[in-house]
Amino acid sequence: MSLVSFLADYEEKIESTDMLGESEHLVTFGLFGEVGSVLAISKKSERDGAGFNVNYSLVEELGDVLWYFARLCKRCGWSINNVSHGFIKGRSFQIAPTGINSYPIAMVPSQCELDSVEVSRELGAAASTLLSVPISAVTQDMLSAFFKSYLEFISISKVKFQDVVDFNLKKTLGRFTSMQDEELLDFDIYEHEDEQLPRHFEIEVTQRSNGRSYMKKGGVFIGDPLTDNIMVEDHYRFHDVFHMSYAAILHWSPVFRSLLKNKRKGNPLKDEAEDGGRAIVIEEGVSAWLFSIAKENNYFEGQKRISFDVLKTVKQFVRGYEVEKCPYGLFERAILEGYSVFRDLKKYKKGVIVGDRKMRTIQFKPEVMV
């Protein structure tokens, strides 16, 4: 694949992920902010050494820089290939193997001779230049200078440009494009029916005069009565609805699986690694952390989006577990729908939570079964 087709393919795929609207300054603000994140990683790398996962962080942040840069080029009427032509032409090249069957060798620019500090400064300065003028005044030379410093930074950082592009495509497409439910993963479909999360469930939730919440499934109590466990009431006693939402929409919830005694005992590896105590603690941690954010944002009422930074942190929480494979958009859906039901419970103090894994939905019914 040539540079032209490689970058053109990337630009075409991310076209549908641009949700910035008509506000032109957002793209330059975003680009400058992401460059700042890249430079912050460089600082942390030098300060913290081996205690910081530089490669993973750089791959993600450099991908975000590329996304904003591609959108800026588009708004200026150019493609990345257009702006890269100016600095590629006339540079010295070397022959290098590619590992691609159809393109066994390629012409690649000679290695950057600047050190990491110089390259980082150049990248920051190029981003500042783009930020300092309105988009109508951005020239092809400005964009070319930025992309040159960007590629030089990639060169000295030792990350692979292909990894940067692939990671960004997976991340952005999973966040902003529509999802077909049949294409999403079902983590226990091949397990015995008794060891699957229920395909459909109805959980009765009530609050008694002692202030504790109780849950029943099929007339049988599940879990323990809960209080808020905090000095100032915040209704966290109803937080199990979040686990139900994860189960219905993400097809994942070690907590809910444990409550219903649907752990995958027939699959010892999954029973221990995916359904065990550590996974339960992580899920509870995700729920508690999200709740602290939700409390400050009216429990996400009226919101159609969750901050991408929040979603990225959730993904970091669950890294290494099966649910990590779910796209960002599905996490967002599970969080928002879970909080919609939570707000109803907070209002009525009782009701029936209806989850449907086939439809990946969770709903609230105010009536309580007698």
Domain shared by 145 and 280, yes or no: no
> CA-to-CA distance for 264 and 246, rounded, in angstroms?
17
> CA-to-CA distance for 346 and 228, rounded, in angstroms?
12
pLDDT value at residue 77: 93
Q: Evaluate whether residue 115 is within a structural domain.
A: yes
Q: Evaluate whether residue 370 is within a structural domain.
A: no
- Look at residues 177, 199, 217 and tell me which one is the last residue of a structural domain: 177
> CA-to-CA distance for 293 and 286, rounded, in angstroms?
11
> CA-to-CA distance for 130 and 35, rounded, in angstroms?
12
Global confidence as pTM: 0.79
Domain shared by 66 and 81, yes or no: yes
pLDDT value at residue 1: 43
Domain shared by 71 and 163, yes or no: yes
**Which run of H or of E encompasses 297?**
none
Domain shared by 218 and 340, yes or no: yes
Q: To the nearest 5 percent, what fractions of the chain are helix, strand and coil? A: 60, 15, 30
Domain shared by 164 and 303, yes or no: no
pLDDT value at residue 108: 56
- Look at residues 162, 177, 192 and tell me which one is the last residue of a structural domain: 177
Domain shared by 285 and 322, yes or no: yes
Q: Evaluate whether residue 264 is within a structural domain.
A: yes
Q: Evaluate whether residue 83 is within a structural domain.
A: yes
Q: Evaluate whether residue 265 is within a structural domain.
A: yes
Q: Evaluate whether residue 221 is within a structural domain.
A: yes
> CA-to-CA distance for 342 and 345, rounded, in angstroms?
5
Q: Please calculate the CA angle 35-41-43 and round it to the nearest 5 degrees.
A: 105
Q: Please calculate the CA angle 171-176-180 and round it to the nearest 5 degrees.
A: 95
Question: Which residues span the domain enclosing 187?
Answer: 182-365
pLDDT value at residue 52: 47
CB–CB of 195/262 below 8 Å? Answer: yes
Q: Which amino acid is at 87?
A: F
- Look at residues 177, 212, 239 and tell me which one is the last residue of a structural domain: 177
Domain shared by 138 and 202, yes or no: no
Q: Which pLDDT tens digits describe the chain residue by residue (370 residues)? A: 445 577 889 999 999 888 888 888 899 999 999 999 999 988 877 766 554 457 778 999 999 999 999 999 999 999 998 888 766 665 555 555 655 566 566 555 555 566 788 889 999 999 999 999 999 999 999 999 999 899 889 888 888 888 999 999 988 988 887 667 667 889 999 999 999 999 999 999 999 999 999 999 999 999 999 999 999 999 999 999 999 999 999 999 999 999 999 999 999 999 999 999 999 999 999 999 999 999 999 999 999 999 988 999 999 999 999 999 999 999 999 999 999 999 999 999 999 999 999 999 999 999 755 4
pLDDT value at residue 99: 58
pLDDT value at residue 4: 57
pLDDT value at residue 249: 97
Start-to-end C-alpha separation, the chain: 65
Q: Evaluate whether residue 31 is within a structural domain.
A: yes
3 state DSSP class of 258: helix
Domain shared by 159 and 267, yes or no: no
Domain shared by 266 and 173, yes or no: no
Both tokens of 308, joined, read: 């991408």
Domain shared by 158 and 193, yes or no: no
Q: Evaluate whether residue 350 is within a structural domain.
A: yes
Domain shared by 186 and 143, yes or no: no
> CA-to-CA distance for 117 and 4, rounded, in angstroms?
30
Number of domains forming the structure of the chain: 2
Closest C-alpha to 117, from 151, 157, 87: 157
> CA-to-CA distance for 169 and 248, rounded, in angstroms?
26
Domain shared by 105 and 64, yes or no: yes
